[in-house]
Structure 1
Amino acid sequence: MSTPYASAAPYYARYRPPYPAELYALLADRFALDGSQTVLDLGAGPGTIGLPLAPLVEQVYAVDPEPAMLAEGCARAEEQGRRNISWLRGDAADIGRLCLPRIDLCVIGDAFHRMDRARVAADLDAVLAPRGGIAVVTSLAAAWPAVVDEVRARFLGPGTGTGTGTAYGAPTRRADTPADHVRDAEDQLAKSEFSRVGTTMWERSTRCTVDQVIGLQFSRASSHPALLGDRKDAFASELRRALLDHDPGGTYIRTVTVAATVATRPRR
């Protein structure tokens, strides 16, 4: 069965911004990545983390429940000549059934809050190497101009706007923002076997064109093309007009903070 991300997959792969290079430098340092490690990218999407991580390790297992996401990732890996990524259909409940080898690092990008966090940590305890760990990555972004919410509400109903601090991903309530997801990840992991927890953040400004803003809306579970149906083109046209009325320059800048919560077992 397809997920809400089936029709969103090509937009997700094309328009979601990459994570900063500092993230991979942090992971390389914390886990001594030297080309010999095995990584699990859980909730991998089209390989947003797994693809940039692949040159640093021996093998990446990219796991996602949506076949369209895996197809996008596989195509991108082919384009980039990445031969060390295995694309596996599954979700966070399948860790024990995937017959994975010993894993040195599990990365989870903007998806941990949609998982049974306690179960995931417990299941990972069985497959992660003694010095292995978990890296939960969360994107915290400032809101788009209000006109984006207004157009979304007209087409999709009230309460479907991007909201302050909405992540690049499934919609979040104002009381359940990515900042809450970071705190929850820290709390959940601190109660697990991976109780040595720390979060590092990087902030940057991203510049988006009108086409990129529209593409990002189509990449979301709450406004994917299949949900809009035959109103997709009208939505894009009205959003384009509203954005250009708001700023005729057609360029939109917002601040994005990426948080990496790294958890390992306590040192003995």
Structure 2
Amino acid sequence: MSTPYASAAPYYARYRPPYPGELYALLVDRFALDGSQTVLDLGAGPGTLSLPLAPLAEHVYAVDPEPAMLAEGCALAEEQGSRNISWLRGDAAGIGRLCLPRIDLCVIGGAFHRMDRVRVPADLDAVLAPRGGIAVVTSVAAAWPSVVDEVRTRFLGPDDGAADGTAVTTRSADEPADERADEPADGPADMEELRDVEDHLAKSVFSRVETTTWVRSAHCTVDQVIGLQFSRACSSPALFGDRKDAFESELRHALLDHYPDGTCTRTVTVAATIATRPRR
């Protein structure tokens, strides 16, 4: 059975922003990535983390429950000549069933809040190498202008997170800031989100936890803002049916009224929370 992201997958692959290069430099430094390691990407989507990590590892296992996401990732890997990624359908609840080799690094980008945050670190303890660890990557961005939610609400009703099975309380770079409407990037809910990641990892066997953040300005065209709306589970193309083109047209006009030059700018903060076992 496909997930709510099935029809969103092409937009997700095309419009979701990449993570900053500094993130990969940090992972290289912390986990001594030199092309000989094995990496697990849980909740991989179309390979937002897997593809940039492939040149740094011997092999990457990209795991996601949505076949359409895996298909997008596989196609991108072919285009980029990345042949050391295995695209596996599965979820974090079935880590033991994946029959993985010893893993040096597990990355989770924009999906940790959807997982059992107690069970996942415990299950990873069985597959991660002694000096291995977990890197949870999240991002917080300033909300889109209110016109985006206003237009979406006229077509789909209020965004309460029901479409993707979650309350709209968290998000990541793979799940942009508009996944939670009208929260400022530096609001208390965002700090609570980051603390939640840190707290769950600190209570696990991977209790040595530290977070690094990067702040940048993101510039989006109107087409990119529209594409990002279609990349969301709660506003994926399938939900609009034959009204998709009408939504796109109305949103385009609303955005151009708000941004006459056609450029939308907002601040994005990316955080990498790295958790490893305590040193002995």
TM-score by length of 2: 0.91
Distance between the aligned counterparts of 1:29 and 1:111, measured in 2?
24
What amino acid maps onto 2:175 in structure 1? G
Matched, 1:169 2:175: yes
- Please list the CA deviations of residues 199-223 of structure 1 after superposition, one character each: whole Å capped at 9, or x if unmatched: 0000100110010000000000110
1:241 alignment partner in structure 2? 253
> Residues 182-215 of structure 1, C-alpha deviation per residue, up to 9 Å, x if partnerless?
2111000000000000000001001100100000
Deviations 1:36-71 (A, max 9, x none): 000000000000001001101100000000000000
Larger deviation: 119-128 or 152-161? Answer: 152-161
Tell me, in whole angstroms, the C-alpha distance in 1 between the residues paired with 2:26 and 2:222. 33
2:24/2:53 contact within 8 Å kept:
yes
Taking the aligned partners of 1:61 and 1:126, their CA distance within structure 2 comes to 16
Q: 1:140 to 1:85 in 2, by over 3 A?
A: same
Unaligned ranges ≥5, structure 2:
162-167
Is the deviation greater in 166-175 or in 107-116? 166-175
Would the aligned equivalents of 2:110 and 2:171 in 1 still touch at CA under 8 Å?
Answer: no
- Give me the CA root mean square deviation: 1.9
Output aligned runs, 1:129-144, within 5 Å.
129-144=129-144
Deviations 1:10-42 (CA, angstroms, capped at 9, x unpaired): 000000000000000000000000110000000
Classify the secondary structure of the residue corresponding to 2:7. coil
- Seen in structure 2, the aligned counterparts of structure 1 residues 255 and 164 have a Cα distance that, compared at 3 Å, is farther
Report the CA distance shift for 1:248/1:160 in structure 2 as closer, same or farther (over 3 A). Answer: farther
The separation in 2 between residues aligned to 1:63 and 1:13, in whole angstroms, is: 15
Per-residue Cα deviation, 1:221-263 (whole angstroms, up to 9, x for no partner)? 1100011111111110000000011121110000010000000
Does the 8 Å CA contact 1:45/1:69 hold for their aligned counterparts? yes
Do structure 1's residue 148 and structure 2's residue 154 form an aligned pair? Answer: no
Q: 1:225 aligns with which of 237, 253, 259?
A: 237
- Change in CA separation of 1:165 and 1:104 when aligned onto 2, cut-off 3 Å: closer
- What's 1:33 paired with? 33
Show the counterpart of 1:201.
213
**Cα deviation, residue 165, structure 1:** 8.4
Partner Cα separation in structure 1 for residue 159 and residue 211 of structure 2: 30
Confirm or deny: 8 A CA contact 1:200 1:259 kept in the other structure: yes
Q: CA deviation at 1:169?
A: 2.1
The percentage of aligned residue pairs carrying the same residue is: 80
Matches within 5 A, 1:65-80: 65-80=65-80
Equivalents in 2 of 1:69, 1:47: separation in Å? 8
Q: Does 1:254 align with 2:260?
A: no
Contact 2:112 2:136 in 1 (8 A): yes
Unaligned runs of 5+ in 1: none
CA distance change for structure 1 residues 176 and 166 in 2, over 3 Å: closer, same or farther?
A: farther
How far apart, CA to CA, are the structure 2 residues paired with 1:21 and 1:106?
A: 18
Tell me the equivalent position of 1:265. Answer: 277
* 8 A contact 2:41–2:50 mirrored in 1: yes
